[in-house]
Amino acid sequence: MLYYLIVCRSLTYAQRTASALERAGITARVIRSPKSISGEGCSHSVKISQRYLPDALRILQRAGLSPKRVYITAGNGSYQEVAL
C-alpha cells in the first residue's frame, strides 16, 4: 500500500501533527523516520494513507503545522520526496 510520511523535526511536533489530523478524521500514526529520510539524524514522521494528502495539507496549514518535507513510498521500498 502506498502511503506518505510527513517528516517532523521533533516527536512533539509529530504528535501535534497527528493529533490535528486525527481530530479531522484522518488516520495518522507517528513512527520513527526511516534513516534514509530522517535528515539530521533521528526524527519522527506521521504516516498517512496516499488518498489523504491533499486534505491533510489543508488541515495542517490551517492549524499552523505545515510540513516542510513529505515523502511517498516507492515500489522498491525507497522513498521519494514530494514537491509541496
Q: Shortest distance, CB of residue 17 to another protein, whole angstroms? A: 11
Full 3-state SS string of 40-59: CCCCEEEEEEHHHHHHHHHH
Q: Is 36 in the site for another protein (CB under 8 A)?
A: no
Q: Is 17 in the site for another protein (CB under 8 A)?
A: no
CA-CA distance, 61 to 65, in Å (whole number)? 6
Q: Shortest distance, CB of residue 35 to another protein, whole angstroms? A: 11
Q: Is 15 in the site for another protein (CB under 8 A)?
A: yes
Number of Cβ within 10 Å of residue 16's Cβ equals 17
Cβ atoms 11, 38 nearer than 8 A: no
Kindly tell me which residue out of 1, 25, 36, 41 binds another protein, with binding defined by CB under 8 A: 41
What residues between 45 and 84 interact with another protein by CB under 8 A? none
What cell was used for 55? 486534505
Where along the sequence are the contacts to another protein (CB under 8 A)?
9-13, 15-16, 19, 30-32, 39-44
